[in-house]
Structure 1
Amino acid sequence: MAGSKQRLYRISFMNQGQRYELYAREVSHGAMLGFVEIGKPVFGEKTSVLVDTSEEKLKQEFADVERFYVPVHAIVRIDEVKKAGPVRVVEGGGSGSNVTPLPFYTFGGDSRK
């Protein structure tokens, strides 16, 4: 894509009771049913002496990751943005965590029979 502007996405998703907010260059429905494929994670450049420990933790967690898959029911929001902000992990979903998860259905009907 020479000469064209690369897209940037902010992805918020739930993982083990925490809300992750990351930036990436690629987002798609992926090849695995029920998962969102996220590629080329982006982390902010350091412009000050202060070190954000949550961003450093996420950088280490995603250090060698080129793409990862998040269950579609764990996605809170995906936005296309102009520039990356801080990446973060918020315990318990943080403020605005009034997100009600959608019911989870399995293919094949009711298993209680």
Structure 2
Amino acid sequence: MPKTLYKVTFLNAGKVYELYARHVGSGALWGFTEVGELVFDVHDGVVIDPTEERLRDEFGNTRVLHLPMHSIVRIEEVERKGQSAIRDATTGEKVVTPFPLPAKPR
């Protein structure tokens, strides 16, 4: 039986983070939600998602996130992992932009 997967959306420093995790629950710290067993894509190919890499750099060694309950926007139980994201809280646009295209020769 596959383990439950959650999409956790929360506010952090003026940005909206969307992460995937296998564990979500109330923890020993009052007012905080525990988010553990974070799930990141494993890329063996050439194409790398810069947002996923940034999230892995920031949270890759994290065993459990203790998020203040008031910072959580939504927790969804999902069937499969989608694309993780970091968005601007006011506009909803992604913060990390794709790799720049080469400049046109003059």
Normalising by structure 1, we get a TM-score of: 0.75
Structure 2 residue matching 1:56: 3-state secondary structure: helix
Q: Which residues of 2 match residues 98-109 of structure 1 at below 5 A? A: none
Q: Distance between the aligned counterparts of 1:39 and 1:93, measured in 2?
A: 27
- Within the candidate set 33, 39, 52, 1:42 is matched to 39
Structure 2 residue matching 1:57: 3-state secondary structure: helix
Distance apart, 1:46 and its partner CA: 2.0
User: What number of residue pairs does the alignment pair up?
Assistant: 93
Q: 4+ residue runs of structure 1 moved beyond 6 angstroms? A: none
Note if contact 1:14-1:74 (Cα within 8 Å) is conserved in structure 2: yes
Q: 1:76 to 1:93 in 2, by over 3 A?
A: farther
Distance apart, 1:93 and its partner CA: 4.9
- The one-letter amino acid of 1:52's match is D
Q: 1:18 to 1:37 in 2, by over 3 A?
A: same
Runs of at least 5 residues in structure 2 that lack an aligned partner in the other structure: 94-106
Q: 1:70 to 1:46 in 2, by over 3 A?
A: same
Runs of at least 5 residues in structure 1 that lack an aligned partner in the other structure: 97-113
Q: 1:40 to 1:93 in 2, by over 3 A?
A: farther
- Within the candidate set 59, 66, 74, 1:62 is matched to 59
CA deviations 1:15-61 (Å, max 9, x no partner) are 00000000000000111111000010001232652211111010010
Q: Distance between the aligned counterparts of 2:91 and 2:53, measured in 1?
A: 19
Q: Which residues of 2 match residues 10-49 of structure 1 at below 5 A? A: 10-46=7-43, 48-49=45-46
The corresponding residue for 1:86 is: 83
Structure 2 residue matching 1:73: 3-state secondary structure: helix
- Within the candidate set 42, 48, 73, 2:70 is matched to 73
